[in-house]
Amino acid sequence: MQASRHAAPTILPIGSDADLAWVRQRVRQAAAELGFGLVQQTKLVTAASELARNTLVHGGGGHVELTPLGLGSSNGLRLAFVDTGPGIRDLEQAMTDGYTSGGGLGLGMSGAKRLVQEFEVDSRPGEGTTVTVTAWATAVPPSRPGA
């Protein structure tokens, strides 16, 4: 059985367009530090951008929890986008390819789902939504300076 390791999550607020830019920057930085290749970083940042915008626009704001993961020699990054908004009325429709309520990248949640290895939605009417995605790096983690 492979050893599993998790670091404490970093929590970033999502309450403005400026926060969206900060979330994208921090996700890219964390993915790079965990050894994600450039294409993997771009996919994860794109998914994070879409989900952070959804958190702001549809959920009224909230936060994202960035959690570095390790399983054996593999590194991953879990992102949990949390809001206390109205919830997703029709999750099946929201997950339909091509569905967008406007204002985002046009990927929708189904597009974000295709960009990561793991995707989960917990939405409760009147209580809010949590969308959790996890991506795993296939590249070897970057070498440390002086190593």
Segment 108-118, tens digit of pLDDT: 788 899 999 99
Confidence band for 147, pLDDT divided at 50, 70 and 90: very low
For residue 58, tell me if it sits in a domain.
yes
User: Domain range spanning residue 61?
Assistant: 4-136
What is the phi-psi region of residue 91: left when phi exceeds 0, alpha when psi lies from -120 to 50, beta otherwise?
alpha
The total number of structural domains in the chain stands at 1
| 107 falls within a domain | yes
Q: Give a yes or no: residue 146 inside a domain.
A: no
- The answer to whether residue 45 is domain-embedded is yes
Instruction: Look at residue 142 and tell me if it is in a domain.
Output: no
Contact of 53 with 104, CB cutoff 8 Å: yes
In a domain, 113, yes or no: yes
Among 125, 131, 129, smallest CA distance to 78 is for 131
Give the CATH number for residue 43. 3.30.565.10
The predicted model scores a pTM of 0.84
- Residue 93 lies inside a defined structural domain of this protein: yes
Residue 102's pLDDT band (boundaries 50, 70, 90)? low
Residue 143 lies in a domain: no
